[in-house]
Structure 1
Amino acid sequence: MAVEKKLRIGVIGCGRIAQAHLAAIENLKDEADLIATADADEKRAREAKQRFGARFFTSRYKDILNHAEIDAVIITLPNHLHHPIALQAAMAKKHILVEKPIALNTKQALEMVDEAKRNGMTLMVGQSRRFSDAVFDLQKHIPEIGKLFRIQISFLVNFPSPPTDWWKRSEEAGGLVILLQGSHSIDSILTWTKKMPRQVCAFSSRQNTQWEGEDEADILLSFDQGELASMHLSLSTSPEIHEAILVGTKGVMRLTEYSTGKPFRFGYHLDLNGKRIYSAEQTPSNYTLQLREFIDAIRGSRTPIASGEEVLSTMRVLDAVRLSEREKRVVSIEES
């Protein structure tokens, strides 16, 4: 279904990450219209409506799914709710932008992809770290460093306490840091290598007892031609470090992300063989570029970047990571 006028959007979930998506809608007000905000906490839904100028708010997400004027929904709910709400949204003939991780496991994600296809709806996943000028530049320069044989990502941040209540419960978060941050880092590695790993090994621990799930994790991927990728994930590191190092047969690239001090706003440095080739605050925000891709894909009746179907690969690797973590062994990707 092509949409030529403004895309009319309902946001389901008005907590922490929703603020970044709501701001993106506001930034694209010539292309998108915020119709409604929904949250089980009616106060939060009302505050989001007032701050971002929605037409109405509700404590019942089905009010958005049943609203005939709404073309698309953005689902910014706890991880365990992505799957059931996305299925209902697809059946209600709404296009869907769902926060990462797409779901708790590949089985759920595949059901979401199939339901969206069955109803002719676009399903896109909020892999926001794909959407920055620095990352676009990195991808263009990969051929200059030759054949990739090593990628190392450190995603080390600091949350002294849970920023939102559902982070406390492993059942709702699907663990914790592996899905929260690993979903970004694995997605980046698969995008840059353009292939799936053969084997996965993961270790995790918990430093902070305020939540049930893991808040530290190291993940190693091995590929068919000897390439290696490693991820180091943390919720307890201060000062924070978020960088990716790509090593090829002809050189090295290093991408560094830093917080600008504004909520969900980042800046980037990109170095190619020791020379800085990019350094700037990302403007417009990653979430704004992501939403523009969602809108353009719907208007153009094309598959978006980070479509649900594409991100199934990321979910398969995450499943293998969780299996390795649980059973404390190397896992073949075929087992996931």
Structure 2
Amino acid sequence: MNTRRAFLQNVTRSAIGIPLLSLQSAPIISSLTSCAEVADGPVLRVAIMGLGSYGARVAEAMKDCKRAKLVGLISGTPSKVTEWQQKWNIPAANCYNYENFDNIKNNPNIDAVYIITPNALHHPQTLRVAKAGKHVICEKPMAINAKEGQEMVDACKAAGVKLLIGYRLHFEPNTVEIIRMRKEGELGKLLYFQGQSGFRIGNPNQWRLDPKLAGGGAMMDIGIYSINAARYMTGEEPIWVTAQEVKTDPQKFKPGVDETITFQLGFPSGIIGSCLSTYNMNNLDRFFINGEKGFADLQPASGYGPIKGRTHKGELALPHPMHQTLQMDGMAELIFEGKQPIVPVDGAEGVKDMKVIDAIFAAVKSGGKVPIKIA
């Protein structure tokens, strides 16, 4: 709705006027320390910012977490907050709106905020959460360009809090197994990567097709999966890219919103990557890596599950828990114990993907080969 879009475009301003949802007067339970304790260790107490469909998926997944728990809500829609409060038994003292959520700095019962809002809001909201002294989990893409991403990293470092990016696939068993095979040389010298990421997008009025909120189109939303997979499946950072954009529906995909981009990545060892990102085709969700000794194929590769994989050794028959359950438990272990996943999920990892996206857009514009400087 236009009214919602107008609101979203203004939520990053300083708090002014009467808040949409006031903090309740109920006292915060002072007996709790900075984190709750269970048999497996401290529990990461998380407030979700942005109560849309993906936020709901994360909340559902956290029901099965051993190390993470949903304890707070941040939204610009009071009716959603009320609904979620009842469903998840969230105290009123842990509920905020986009204007007053800076007050979480005074709430010792929230350890981290998971930002699940439109892309363009990630940067200002991360800065505010960091300033409030809370750890940040930010959905990908972390920002609309690498410059903003680096500013987020710097702000969290200065505030002494963690910045983690919602790379759920870094914890997914089939993905992790293929990375292990690559690391242990079971695929031999790598030669080629292919990534296909796409679907036909629906409602033309949604924020994902608004360049001011999305920072782009399909590349930001779905193409980033192929970019990230190209990096973790090869174990290398790309050094150049060429890219071509095709737009068949300029009415739906307005200037600044990419519909379909094909791009080619070059890696230091000579590996070539061939990828497709689109908002106009279904049945595109595949990562394939080929080496001199074998191959690995994921299809579907990035959907919510189950991920299905096979290699030159046969089918991968690994369990399929909710990705976000593994992600949130893994992030809690990272924050509390420093346990790192097989592929990083920190802000620096997010900046690397943003540098590749910046280069892809530059290559589309120039029509030539664009160097990528990750370091």
Q: Deviations over 1:57-91 (max 9, x none)?
A: 33333344553321100000100011111111111
Q: 1:332 to 1:2 in 2, by over 3 A?
A: farther
Within a 5 Å distance, the mapping from 1:61-80 to structure 2 comes to 61-80=101-120
- 2:355 equivalent to 1:316: yes
Q: Give the whole-Å Cα distance in 2 for the aligned partners of 1:217 and 1:279.
A: 33
TM-aligned CA deviation for residue 115 of structure 1: 1.4
Q: Is the Cα contact below 8 Å between 2:198 and 2:222 reproduced in 1? A: no
Match of 1:252 among 295, 305, 310: 295
Query: Which residue does the alignment assign to 2:67?
Result: 31
TM-aligned CA deviation for residue 7 of structure 1: 1.7
Which structure is higher in strand share?
1
SS in 2 for 1:121: coil
Q: Is the Cα contact below 8 Å between 1:200 and 1:321 reproduced in 2? A: yes
Q: Is the Cα contact below 8 Å between 1:2 and 1:299 reproduced in 2? A: no
Within a 5 Å distance, the mapping from 1:38-187 to structure 2 comes to 38-56=74-92, 57-60=95-98, 61-142=101-182, 143-162=185-204, 165-187=206-228
Query: Which letter does structure 1 place at the counterpart of 2:281?
Result: T
Q: Deviations over 1:133-178 (max 9, x none)?
A: 110111122221111111001113232335x831121121111111
Q: Give the whole-Å Cα distance in 1 for the aligned partners of 2:154 and 2:339.
A: 16
Consecutive unaligned residues of structure 1, counting only runs of 5 or more, are none
Q: Once the two structures are aligned, what percentage of the paired residues are identical?
A: 25
The count of residues paired between Structure 1 and Structure 2 equals 327
Q: Deviations over 1:90-121 (max 9, x none)?
A: 11111111000111111111111111111221
Larger Rg: 2
Q: Deviations over 1:273-318 (max 9, x none)?
A: 2x533146621x1111111111111111456631112232211111
Query: Which residue does the alignment assign to 1:11?
Result: 48
Query: Which residue does the alignment assign to 2:6?
Result: none
Structure 1 window deviating more from structure 2 (307-316 vs 202-211): it is: 202-211
Q: Is the Cα contact below 8 Å between 1:2 and 1:301 reproduced in 2? A: no
Q: Is the Cα contact below 8 Å between 2:173 and 2:319 reproduced in 1? A: no
Q: 1:325 to 1:335 in 2, by over 3 A?
A: farther
Q: TM-score, normalised by structure 1?
A: 0.89
Q: Give the whole-Å Cα distance in 2 for the aligned partners of 1:35 and 1:334.
A: 40
- 2:223 equivalent to 1:201: no
Q: Is the Cα contact below 8 Å between 2:355 and 2:374 reproduced in 1? A: no
Query: Which residue does the alignment assign to 1:292?
Result: 329
